[in-house]
Structure 1
Amino acid sequence: MKLGLMTGYSGSTLRIPLDTIKHAESLGYDSVWTAEAYGADAVTTATWILANTSTIKVGTAIMQMPARSPAMAAMTAMSLSHLSGNRFIVGLGASGPQVVEGWHGVPYGKPVTRLKEYIAIMKTIFAREAPATFDGVQYQLPYTGEGATGMGKPLKSILHCNAEIPIFAATITPAGVKAAAEVADGFFPVWMDPGQYHVFEKPVNDGFAAAGNKTLKDFEIAPFVRVIIGDDVEKCMQPIKDNLALYIGGMGARSKNFYNDYAKRLGFEEEAVKIQDLYLDGKKAEAAAVVPDELVDACNLVGPPDRIRDRAQRWLEAGKAGHVSTMLLGADTSKEGLELMAGIVG
């Protein structure tokens, strides 16, 4: 099992924690990942990190697919791969309707269909076996829809893709996980209980079957994991509870919240309903208080170092089974936390 590090979203100003990233690189961390919402973008920050490091891989978690065409994403990936010595990893996601339609001004469409078509086009461009053409629901190359001139021409990338560029997908729905297992090289399940791989097992296996020739040896699972060190376990859990309440309670509408559904599949159905009711009623602190300690503990590592070492054994076992490939530690992981996890994972 490998270790990675998230850099998180930007605030009103943009700061990249290069000292922390370089320390992770010196400890043997495999990767570092950037993010985007509707502020700083993931590609520019990834480029900056690649230019200031030498061995650690850099990925995007995520590039919002509706924000850029598949061809643009492929051009970006090949360019960064060439310039970095093949250290760039593509991480894609659908984002949400609020950002896609409110910020980018394009239809949200069908996220699973978009993922499959997007990756198919990128891989066609990478392969350079012929000029890129595609006739899909979300994408057509050349474009022939409304406003087309009819002058579009199939093109082959001038730049060659000299090394394999991994593509990861962010998803937690059964349909999305199946699609990722079929067409991508890995996926981010946001948070994950390493002891409950069964939540993903069927869609992963269905995706492998659709691909025809894949197993867990060919597919990476990289959940986000918060590591917070402190003597007071309850205090360490609090910021995670606040974050989980936001996702389980406030992400999406009452009738359509993928994170709420995911919490239910993990065995916290009653709590998920209460968290959403409270959060949507504006009672955010009360919603966070309902987040079970068991959920926080299952998906994260908190408390004194000895407790974290003990709890980390579940993750190591999941790694041996192929159920977790990389633990992506939170952007708030301390220097002590980075070093502790490097010692545990080895």
Structure 2
Amino acid sequence: MKLGLQLGYWGAQPPTNHAELVSVAEEVGFDTMFTAEAWGSDAYTPLAWWGRETTRMRLGTSVIQLSARTPTACAMAALTLDHLSGGRHILGLGVSGPQVVEGWYGQKFPKPLARTREYIDIIRQVWAREAPVHSDGPHYPLPLTGEGTTGLGKNLKPITHPLRPDIPIMLGAEGPKNVALAAEIADGWLPIFYSPRIATMYNE
């Protein structure tokens, strides 16, 4: 069994003991540390800050919200941390919910499964760096064209060569369709409200 340290996201004030927790977890052999975000602290800053003191543990987000970053911005953050950590990053993603997406990020919450599929496809194009990144949309069209644009947008490849083209992607998923999507397109599943006993009952 591999153990992970879930640091979560901050409350009203920054935590005072997380550096100590990370140090002890590394020392006793934990496999992974995770950070999260809601509508306060972000996930990547503390992951990089405390992760810099580690040499072995994998550094994961569990989870970051799709609507907080465009797919290419997410891919940039992930490939940057993967370089800085020597190939120890795990990208945990989640769609969040309409309360946060519409109420905090000011974005629409249409077709979360289709958005997730398109988002991950773009991320993997960035990391593969085989060709300029392209998406026909409809959620994240690249390049963006049409009314209100300059028409000067062009398909680009990342300037920085990713350390790994296959950084693991894990999906935070609850409903059966989202869990099935995680099994189809992701490298792992980050469950919540999960009971091994219930899973066993369904498999009997």
The TM-score normalised by the length of structure 2 is: 0.93
- Where do 1:107-256 residues align within 5 Å? 107-163=108-164, 164-197=166-199
Give the whole-Å Cα distance in 2 for the aligned partners of 1:63 and 1:110: 18
Give the whole-Å Cα distance in 1 for the aligned partners of 2:55 and 2:143: 38
Give the whole-Å Cα distance in 2 for the aligned partners of 1:148 and 1:186: 37
Report the equivalent of 2:56. Answer: 55
Give the whole-Å Cα distance in 1 for the aligned partners of 2:199 and 2:108: 33
Give the whole-Å Cα distance in 2 for the aligned partners of 1:168 and 1:102: 25
- Where do 1:1-346 residues align within 5 Å? 1-15=1-15, 17-163=18-164, 164-197=166-199
Quote how far apart the aligned CAs of 1:194 are. Answer: 1.6
Quote how far apart the aligned CAs of 1:110 are. Answer: 1.6
Give the whole-Å Cα distance in 1 for the aligned partners of 2:119 and 2:201: 26
Give the whole-Å Cα distance in 2 for the aligned partners of 1:81 and 1:154: 24
Residue identity opposite 1:5 in structure 2:
L
Quote how far apart the aligned CAs of 1:200 are. Answer: 8.4
Quote how far apart the aligned CAs of 1:148 are. Answer: 2.1
Kindly provide the CA deviation profile for residues 95-150 of structure 1, in whole angstroms up to 9, marking residues without a partner as x.
Answer: 11111111111112221111111111000110011100011221111112552222
Give the whole-Å Cα distance in 1 for the aligned partners of 2:9 and 2:58: 19
Comparing 137-146 with 42-51, greater Cα deviation is found at 137-146
Residue identity opposite 2:153 in structure 1:
G
Residue identity opposite 2:126 in structure 1:
I
Give the whole-Å Cα distance in 1 for the aligned partners of 2:138 and 2:90: 26
Quote how far apart the aligned CAs of 1:9 are. Answer: 2.0
SS in 2 for 1:197: helix
Please tell me whether the aligned partners of residues 177 and 187 of structure 1 are also in contact (alpha carbons under 8 angstroms).
Answer: yes
Quote how far apart the aligned CAs of 1:197 are. Answer: 2.9
Please tell me whether the aligned partners of residues 101 and 107 of structure 1 are also in contact (alpha carbons under 8 angstroms).
Answer: yes
Give the whole-Å Cα distance in 2 for the aligned partners of 1:145 and 1:17: 47
Give the whole-Å Cα distance in 1 for the aligned partners of 2:57 and 2:118: 29
Instruction: Evaluate the alpha carbon distance shift between residue 144 and residue 88 of structure 1 in structure 2; reply closer, same or farther with a 3 A threshold.
Output: same
Please tell me whether the aligned partners of residues 35 and 42 of structure 1 are also in contact (alpha carbons under 8 angstroms).
Answer: yes
Residue identity opposite 1:28 in structure 2:
G
Residue identity opposite 1:118 in structure 2:
Y
Please tell me whether the aligned partners of residues 66 and 94 of structure 1 are also in contact (alpha carbons under 8 angstroms).
Answer: yes
Instruction: Evaluate the alpha carbon distance shift between residue 105 and residue 193 of structure 1 in structure 2; reply closer, same or farther with a 3 A threshold.
Output: same
Aligned residues: 201
Report the equivalent of 1:313. Answer: none
Comparing 188-197 with 24-33, greater Cα deviation is found at 188-197
Give the whole-Å Cα distance in 2 for the aligned partners of 1:146 and 1:96: 29
Give the whole-Å Cα distance in 2 for the aligned partners of 1:196 and 1:99: 29
Give the whole-Å Cα distance in 2 for the aligned partners of 1:200 and 1:79: 41
Give the whole-Å Cα distance in 2 for the aligned partners of 1:199 and 1:5: 28
Please tell me whether the aligned partners of residues 63 and 93 of structure 1 are also in contact (alpha carbons under 8 angstroms).
Answer: yes
Give the whole-Å Cα distance in 2 for the aligned partners of 1:167 and 1:30: 16
Please tell me whether the aligned partners of residues 8 and 62 of structure 2 are also in contact (alpha carbons under 8 angstroms).
Answer: no
Root-mean-square deviation over aligned CA pairs: 1.6
Give the whole-Å Cα distance in 1 for the aligned partners of 2:147 and 2:105: 19
SS in 1 for 2:198: coil
Instruction: Evaluate the alpha carbon distance shift between residue 177 and residue 20 of structure 1 in structure 2; reply closer, same or farther with a 3 A threshold.
Output: same
